[in-house]
Structure 1
């Protein structure tokens, strides 16, 4: 016999798909951090391609599920917004990896690993936030949102230090250009994590 309990129990697959997308974003960030810690080797890009492929698959499944499902556990617009925000994280990371692989010989003395570590932390917090959506509890989500904001603030502080290095006069024009370009890509990737976190936090605010 059909019941309201059965009807409102449907749609839980969206949580799983969003978690898969967040995990793919974290995997891309982990791969980037590992690549930059091993800067003496030629970068391998397979891990980034795989993460992007998994992200695209999750995104496509979310889009199809929204078409097929009558019931969703949270508003459709929120699912679409979070799915889109998560999709952009590994895309930005892959952009860095692809360009870094081409410019490695010009970046031998630049250590990107500390910033990549912050990106990995940010992506990890995003995954925790997405997993919290199943519970729609405000307090743990607020704590994670504060943690993500703290990471973003620290990344902004490091960017100011970067600009001091750029304009110090110690670098030639090519080094200045590359340093600025690559750190800004990393900064934007952290911003993408922050954007996804904001969407997740706002979902809980609306539904708690």
Structure 2
């Protein structure tokens, strides 16, 4: 039976805190694209959330270094932390591109993809809350599957958005801008799926 001491549970609590911060970043990006005003202020807020996530990751790494026993393999803890950090990094990078590229209005496909990022990070928050119960959880596997399903939906929207971009848009500068933004959004969804896949591997190890 998979059991953890209170001391070992600190890692799962740290994962949950990091996932909460990642969800906060996703919701901030959603607010930016759905209500595209006060852009500088909203991007700065996302940047601050990303720094908050960095702090969570540093704490996880420090805890690994001073823990004699960990509830799951050290490399898995590192991978989960790294990939969650990648999600928030990608969200911040996407947000900055709206300002860097002097974007005047947001395309509907971008709004749809950001909504999926919010959905994915919400599922990952649930995944991290249930990870300590991996042996008995009745919802963990379903949430992992849902992250994969959402990422697949994002792939479809991404492909359609790129196709539409090259068919409808005539300005090569706009094509270049939006192609990169869509790619960053897709990379964010990929990072969400990477976290879910790592967790699934951890669950299988302890099955």
TM-score (normalised: structure 2): 0.90
Highest Rg: 1 or 2? 1
User: What is the alpha-carbon root mean square deviation over aligned residues?
Assistant: 1.7
What CA deviation, in whole Å up to 9, does each residue of 1:10-43 have, x standing for no partner? 3111111111111111111000001101124434
Q: Secondary structure at the match of 2:196?
A: helix
Alpha-carbon shift at residue 172 of structure 1 (Å): 1.1
- Does residue 1:16 correspond to 2:13, yes or no? yes
Alpha-carbon shift at residue 94 of structure 1 (Å): 0.3
Asked if structure 2 preserves the Cα contact closer than 8 Å seen for 1:25 and 1:89, the reply is: yes
Alpha-carbon shift at residue 160 of structure 1 (Å): 1.7
The aligned residue for residue 3 of structure 1 is none
Within 1, Cα distance between the matches of 2:168 and 2:107?
16
Alpha-carbon shift at residue 103 of structure 1 (Å): 2.6
Where structure 1 has 5 or more consecutive residues not aligned to the other structure, the ranges are: 1-6
Alpha-carbon shift at residue 65 of structure 1 (Å): 0.7
Alpha-carbon shift at residue 139 of structure 1 (Å): 4.5
Aligned ranges 1:73-84 → 2 under 5 Å:
73-84=71-82
Within 2, Cα distance between the matches of 1:67 and 1:170?
52
Within 2, Cα distance between the matches of 1:109 and 1:8?
48
Counting matched residue pairs gives: 201
Return structure 1 stretches of 4+ with deviation > 4 angstroms: none
The aligned residue for residue 29 of structure 2 is 32
Specify which of 105, 125, 128 is matched with residue 127 of structure 1: 125
Alpha-carbon shift at residue 109 of structure 1 (Å): 5.5
Where structure 2 has 5 or more consecutive residues not aligned to the other structure, the ranges are: none
